[in-house]
Amino acid sequence: MSPVRPVRHARRRLIAATVTVCALSATPLAPHAAALDAPAYSETYRPQFHFTPQKNWMNDPNGLVYYKGEYHLFYQYNPNGNSWGDMSWGHAVSTDLVHWKELPLALSHDDKEMVFSGSAVVDRDNTTGFGTRTNPPMVAVYTSLDKATGVQAQSLAYSTDRGRTWTKYRGNPVIDIGSKDFRDPKVQWYAPTKSWLMTVSLSAEHKVRFYSSKNLKDWKQLSEFGPAGATGGVWECPDLFPLPVDGDKKKIKWVLVVNINPGGIAGGSGAQYFVGDFDGTKFTAEDKGSYTPPAGTVVQDFEGADFGTWTAAGTAFGAAPATGALEGQGEVTGYDGKGFANSFHGGDSATGTLTSQPFTVDSRYLNFTVGGGKHSHKDGTVLERGPAPDGTVLADFEGGTYGDWTATGDAFGTAPAPGTLPGQLPVSGWLGVGLVNTFLGGDAATGTLTSPEFTLDKDYVDFLIGGGNHPAGAADPTAIQLLVDGKPVRTATGSDDEALNWASWDVKDLAGKKARLRIVDANTGGWGHLNVDHIVLSDTRAEPVSRETAVNLLVDGKVVASATGADSETLDWASFDLRPYAGEQARIQVVDNNTAGWGHIMADRFTTASAPAKSLVQRADWADHGKDYYAAVSWEDAPGDERYMIGWMNDWEYGGAIPTSPWRGAQSVPRRMALRTVDGRLRLTSEPVAGLASLRQGSAVTADGVTVTDTSQPLGGPAAAGKALDIEATFSVQDADRFGLKVRTGADGEETVIGYDTTTQEMYVDRRHSGAADFSAAFPGVQRAPLKPENGRIKLRILVDWSSVEVFGGRGDAVITDQIFPGPASQGVQVFAENGSARLDQARIRHLGSYRD
């Protein structure tokens, strides 16, 4: 695969638009600058026991195969820069899945193609004729992107020197169906039919297709699987493999891993899986049965002739519940009975709210169904735009020229635009009669516009921004930048929306500095333009207007919980946890404040219950519940028939903006996979490879029999502190609501919380205060994974690296992988309990060295 080819760029930017008004980066650039001067592999956020290339961009693992004592790790790689582009295959090898040696570039892009994701096999019988039986070739099967057409096809390359040098097959491609969404072949030898088996993704159709071949060159289609499970994003990087059930080699089930972006369990990229059977032709997933939500009391089902006591404002919801799809709307499914709230009255351009009467919170959960647009509520937004902030106007683009600003290229022309330009969707939200609009000549135009120097003498820089979502950290940005000493210290981009909205930079830490503004349009693809207006220095932060399509819970007039649709006309279950607001007055408000694509919301069946309802995404099975585990695929031909898996430790929601340099992207630790029966059904479990113990340094720091009540306290003293740790901890569940460990703790409350919530029986990672997190609104948050105590105990294995945590709960049936970017001085370890007591029965903390040692 290779998440983020040109077509996926467009998809990823569309997703970002639903997440935040604009992508802001207020991250200080000092870590970047320091990294440029630091020795290789000692940079601020450089992982020590997770593989990273010495420099440049890396994403998906590819070509995982074991041959002649070496585990091969190929990976998506840009040999020419630290952002996605020029996709090629990088290469590293290991003898133990722990110590890695980076090798020269394996498969390079060229003038005609980029080399996207795929797999590698050892052709031991020389079925291809690329080698000999005594020296069988290693064959890479990869997706070739035709640069001229965008078509994705499957191609071959081969090596006869253990993967050190490669030759592309002259007969490429070997499968071409003329599709731009056909990628990521995983190939293996299927012994029962003595043939090669390919598992490949029809990504936009949410399908996996299977092919068979005798020689890797001529392929016959066998069958398809899907759509099934989670389908909120493209399906990529499929992997099919057998595993024994509960260790019984006489009882085999097949696992189909399908990576999805977006629409993962944590909101962005994710790795889901299906368990079932494969008969040599067809994969059949086990039937999990239909879903029945928890029983409860229906408080609003919109079955009446009107909205009853609920109050509608605006025009979007009409005067009464809808009884099906409205004019211009696709087929609507998933609602109960005959009526539901539907804001598509008048189409996506209509806006409005639907608000319940106040009620006293006296139940544990509020369950409901929701559908429509995926435009989340964002704190700090308002439903209606107020006046422009007072202050010093740096530019309002009203004078008919750019004044002292300097333009380069052809995107800006000689004067501000009067509004919408030819061929452009309607532009709205600017002030006055002029604005910066780089759609001059269409998206193909590029250029820069730079302001004269000014002094930062107020707290905020406020501005209106719209247009394409191409952050400054990504290839070919459309962004506005604040420059100090010629270097960007703040950036913002659009949200794939022609409506301009307020954005702000907090510049209090830059008070008195001389600065310039630079507007950059380097993008020639879809949404390759930017709209900017009314830039003002102010002591007031501008309030962006909500673009949400959401169901909100309001307490004291503030939104305390929110759910949105999934860009789907199918309503699905969602749930609000009401327990923190017991006894308080609340309202439910359904909000449509979006006028663009999927600018509507649907809701039904509001039900109070003692347990939460689960969405389709929550009901799917996930190999990892964190934000940063994607493109997960496994090694072929591993000794002992073991199944080892590795994933890209990043997320397409912010992958191009993480604050690392001169590299960007890391791989997870390789994991040993197993199928175990958990709570009566089969689960794919994982644990770090045993060889990781070889990196342990010195003696373990131990802490046994520690009881903690309603507090946090240091654990293990200075000897336990560190940036790279392997922690094993076992807790006895007592009466605390939440308990666990905090790692990478430091000044100003910096911490990454790894806990267990007894009220929901979930393991969680909270990285909201883990360090640098404001480079993307999608980064801060809490990730959760279901985990039941075993014999009254919770067991955690925590791997802490310089910029990540990987948490394995129980016997590997709950896993959360998250990046973190703490300051180098944040190295503490603490134990905590909230609202009660917990007992840490045993903890072993070990320091880990580098895989390069």
Alpha carbon distance 649, 784 (integer Å): 17
Examine the residue annotation and report whether 60 is marked as an active-site residue of this protein. yes
Alpha carbon distance 52, 446 (integer Å): 33
Question: Which among 836, 51, 28 has a CA at the least distance from the CA of 489?
Answer: 28
Place of tokens 């253990």: 162
3-state DSSP helix/strand/coil % of the chain, to nearest 5: 5, 45, 45
Residue 516 CA to its chain's centroid (Å):
33
Residue pair 58/68 in contact by the 8 Å Cβ criterion: no
Alpha carbon distance 595, 612 (integer Å): 31
CA dist 689 to 231, 249, 396, 673, 851, Å? 31, 20, 58, 9, 13
Pairing verdict, β 182-190 and 195-202:
antiparallel
Collapsing DSSP states into helix, strand and coil, what is residue 821? coil
Q: What does residue 836 show for φ and ψ, rounded to 5 degrees?
A: 140, -165
- Structure-derived torsion over alpha carbons of residues 274, 278, 283, 284, reported in degrees to the nearest 10: -70
Task: Compute the chain's Rg from CA coordinates.
Answer: 27
Residues 6+ apart with CB under 8 A from 25: 471, 472, 473, 490, 491, 492, 657, 774, 775, 776
Alpha carbon distance 635, 643 (integer Å): 7
Place of tokens 């050892």: 122
Tell me the β-bridge partners of 785.
763
134, burial (CB in 10 Å: exposed 0-12, middle 13-18, buried 19+): exposed
Q: What does residue 509 show for φ and ψ, rounded to 5 degrees?
A: -75, -10
Question: Which among 630, 577, 568 has a CA at the least distance from the CA of 265?
Answer: 630
Residue pair 4/184 in contact by the 8 Å Cβ criterion: no
Question: Which among 226, 228, 231, 196 has a CA at the least distance from the CA of 214?
Answer: 196
Q: What does residue 504 show for φ and ψ, rounded to 5 degrees?
A: -145, 150
Residue pair 570/342 in contact by the 8 Å Cβ criterion: no
- Structure-derived torsion over alpha carbons of residues 376, 382, 383, 388, reported in degrees to the nearest 10: -130
Question: Which among 142, 140, 119 has a CA at the least distance from the CA of 130?
Answer: 140
The active-site residue, picked from 37, 60, 123, 818, is 60
- By annotation, the residues acting in catalysis are 60
